[in-house]
Structure 1
Amino acid sequence: MFAAAQLGALAACIVLFVPMGMAGWHLSRNKMLFFSGALFITLAVGVHIAPYFPAASQFLISTLTPSFSSSPPFRPSSCLSFMHDVSFLPADAPSSFDWLPIRSRSADCGFQKLSRSDAGELLNGSWILVAGDSQARLFVLSLLRLLLARSAMEAVEGDLFRRHSDYQIMISEHGVKLDFVWSPFEANITSVLQKLRGGPRLPEVLVAGSGLWHMLHVNNASDYGENLASVRRSAASMVSPFSSELAMQPPHMFWLGLPTLLNSMLNTEEKKEKMSMTVWDAYEQEVDGSGVLRPSGGSFVLLDIGSLSRSCGLQCTTDGMHYEGVVYEAALQVMLNALLIESQQRI
């Protein structure tokens, strides 16, 4: 290592300082120019040889990088995991619930409930695309409830919940374009991703999720995993450094996990037979093994509806599959806080 350092320093001196000395006589007539040139070349040499000296590298980093000592260290996996640790409790209104983060676990990550104005500022000018099934539709409803005034929600809910249909809205107050694309199967999500590649713009935020329809109508966990692998490849193509779309910033991607299924509450015998916890576990394992999520090399950050719905429990569902809005509100806040973290990293 020491020999390498000597060779690096010698090469830098020959390549940089010798030409500087030869030009010095001419540059000395303009002292400011000479000083500026000398400073620039000295810094260039420092950058070239610093990797050979770890202590020097650390010094340069600590000297040239602004200090953010007031901010807690960012630990992506632990922070996102802690953000899903919330507690649900009865709210003031009858048959309604609220939620709170478990502060002892999430305080270091700065997890907070964003208000309407804060969320509007964070998402200002963004295109948000949500592709999925009924769970994704409920997630969109929570987002709209946060961004829109209550008086505007009645008309919105009627349009949003037209059975098996797409939905789009422009929220002019925040310049937010929101699209929901009905995509109950993984192949539908893959198709959405492939169409985005050929378009003139990528969304700033992409939320996707599926599995319930596959579980009910196909009921084959291995096939589900193969379809998720196709989703993973299509998503990766939008963030690949070799993709022509890299002239555009890749979207922040989130995956809506499967909700916890309460078999005794499912409303048909077919659902009770095909959507057991054993099948649910097998589908969850395919999500983990497909590589679609960040921890396994994928592009999607998990919004863990399974964990959140399990925490809320029987009190938050009437059919054992779809949960009260408070569950999706909590997932939405996890996404917004993750966006805050990622936006700080991209700056």
Structure 2
Amino acid sequence: MGLAGRHLSRNKVLFFSGALFISLAVGIHLSPYLPSLSLPHLASFLLLPHPVSASASSGSSCVQFLHRVSWSNAAGAADNGSGGGKARAWSWPPSLASACGFARLSRDDASLLLNGSWVMVAGDSQARLLVLALLRLLLDPAAAAAAEPELFRRHSDYRAAVPARDISVDFVWAPFESNLTRLLREDLRLAPRLPDVLVLGSGLWHMLHVTDAASYGDALASVAGAAKSLRSQLPEPPPHMFWLGLPHLVNHMLNTDAKRAHMNGTMVHAYDREVDRRGVLRGEGGSFLLLDVGKLTQGCGQQCTADGMHYDGDVYDAVMHIMLNALVIESQQRI
């Protein structure tokens, strides 16, 4: 398998070999999602280990199949400590993984993939759990365990680094949509550079404290507009943008009366509908690729949550690997 590469602005593209990544073109960053004709330079040439089948490559390509994971009880697993039951394991169906090249990344593979990159995740506690999954992949177990208390300081931001690979990971506490709009319209415009990967998500705090889907939709429209403005007006390539969807809520397990009164399946459906119709997601003309936490949490099931809202680490591990595989697939398709 060959690899040829040329510099693409500040980002670079990487590739699979065998079942996992084994090398990078020049070793840093990822190509943006923009069509190749709009890019000032062409980046690295990327190949998948197996040819993509006609059915998998049609429409929006393999990206649309990334959430088709299966859940099973982990072999020999004991109680997971969540109060729900045994630990669960996730996987892609072998035929789909082979056709599309989906793969779990090792620590080395993920570090190569994100070499020199800045990853920013902004949102509420769901976003924190995604950052924790990423740190558990990038750092050794002792370092990840040491980082967790700092990451979960209440209502605070957090920054981590992987010095050996020059990777920065930021968590920005931004529980409301207005926080995300300000991040896009003000904070990132003042930053010396943009993140290479930007993950945003919101809705749980709005659902609890405002409980109005239409109001949530109006706020989302501002986020969507700010993201489009950021992509179109800045001279450098924009970040890869992901939207962290709402989890499946198990109403009777929620731990306060207010949550049980305001947060239920009907409200989640109404809030999800606003995400679909307010121009947030790429399929609807927006800037973000959906990380469908709702589908993954529902698939894992009630046994994967202790409080009906926050799920076990395996769920966010799946979310993270879906995101990382999407980065590679989208990069390949845009060359």
Distance (Å, rounded) in 2 between the aligned partners of 1:323 and 1:312:
9
- Cα distance change of structure 1 residues 126 and 179 upon mapping to structure 2, 3 Å threshold: same
Q: What corresponds to 2:10 in structure 1?
A: none
Q: Aligned letter for 2:106? A: S
In structure 2, the CA distance between the partners of 1:161 and 1:70, relative to structure 1 (3 Å rule), is: closer
State whether structure 2 residue 288 is matched by structure 1 residue 307.
no
Structure-2 separation of matches of 1:70 and 1:310: 30
What does residue range 182-193 of structure 1 map to in structure 2 within 5 Å? 182-193=173-184
Q: Which moved more, 1:65-74 or 1:281-290?
A: 65-74
Q: CA deviation at 1:86?
A: 1.1
- Alpha-carbon shift at residue 131 of structure 1 (Å): 0.3
Q: How many angstroms does 1:316 deviate by? A: 0.3
Report the equivalent of 2:94: 103
Residue 260 of structure 2: aligned partner: 272
Distance 1:69 1:103, change over 3 A: closer
Match of 1:232 among 224, 233, 248: 224
Deviations 1:21-58 (A, max 9, x none): xxxxxxxxxxxxxxxxxxxxxxxxxxxxxxxxxxxxxx
Q: Deviations 1:54-105 (Å, cap 9, x if unpaired)?
A: xxxxxxxxxxx99999642644635223211112222244222221112344
Q: Greater helix share, 1 or 2?
A: 1
**Structure 1 residue 264 displacement after superposition:** 1.3
Any conservation in 1 of the 2:50–2:100 contact (CA below 8 Å)? no
- Aligned-pair RMSD on alpha carbons? 2.1
Q: Counterpart amino acid of 2:222?
A: S
Take 1:199 and 1:67, find their aligned partners in 2: how far apart are those partners? 34
Q: How many residues align?
A: 279
* 2:232 corresponds to 1:249: no
Q: Which residues of 2 match residues 1-347 of structure 1 at below 5 A? A: 71-72=51-52, 74-75=57-58, 77-91=60-74, 92-94=76-78, 95=80, 96-194=87-185, 195-240=187-232, 243=233, 245-246=234-235, 248-347=236-335
- Which stretch has the larger CA shift, 307-316 or 86-95? 86-95
Q: Residue 69 and residue 256 in structure 1: after superposition, are their counterparts in 2 closer, same or farther (change >3 A)?
A: closer
Cα shift at 1:174: 1.8
Question: Once the two structures are superposed, what CA deviation does each residue of 1:247-277 show, in whole Å capped at 9, x if it has no partner?
Answer: x111000000000011111111211110111
- Is this contact kept in 2: 1:132–1:181, CA < 8 A? yes
CA distances 1:202-241 after superposition (whole Å, capped 9, x unpaired): 110000101000000000100100111111111111221x
> How far apart, in 1, do the equivalents of 2:298 and 2:47 lie?
41
Q: TM-score, normalised by structure 1?
A: 0.76
Instruction: Give 1:106 deviation, angstroms.
Output: 4.4
- 8 Å Cα contact 2:50/2:98 also seen in 1: no
**Seq. identity, %:** 56
SS in structure 2 opposite 1:170? strand
Unaligned runs of at least 5 residues, structure 1: 1-64
Q: Any unmatched runs of 5+ in structure 2?
A: 1-44, 81-86
Supply the AA of the counterpart residue of 1:214.
H
Counterpart residue type for residue 289 of structure 2: V
Based on CA coordinates, which of the two structures has the bigger radius of gyration? 1
Q: 1:204·1:251 contact (CA, 8 Å) conserved in 2?
A: yes
Length-normalised TM-score, structure 2:
0.79
Aligned mates of 1:227, 1:66 — CA distance in 2 = 38
Contact 1:79 1:106 in 2 (8 A): no
Larger RCO: 1 or 2 (CA < 8 Å, sep 6+): 2
CA distance in 1, matches of 2:327, 2:105: 12
In structure 2, what residue type is equivalent to 1:335? Answer: M
Secondary structure in 1 matching 2:301: helix
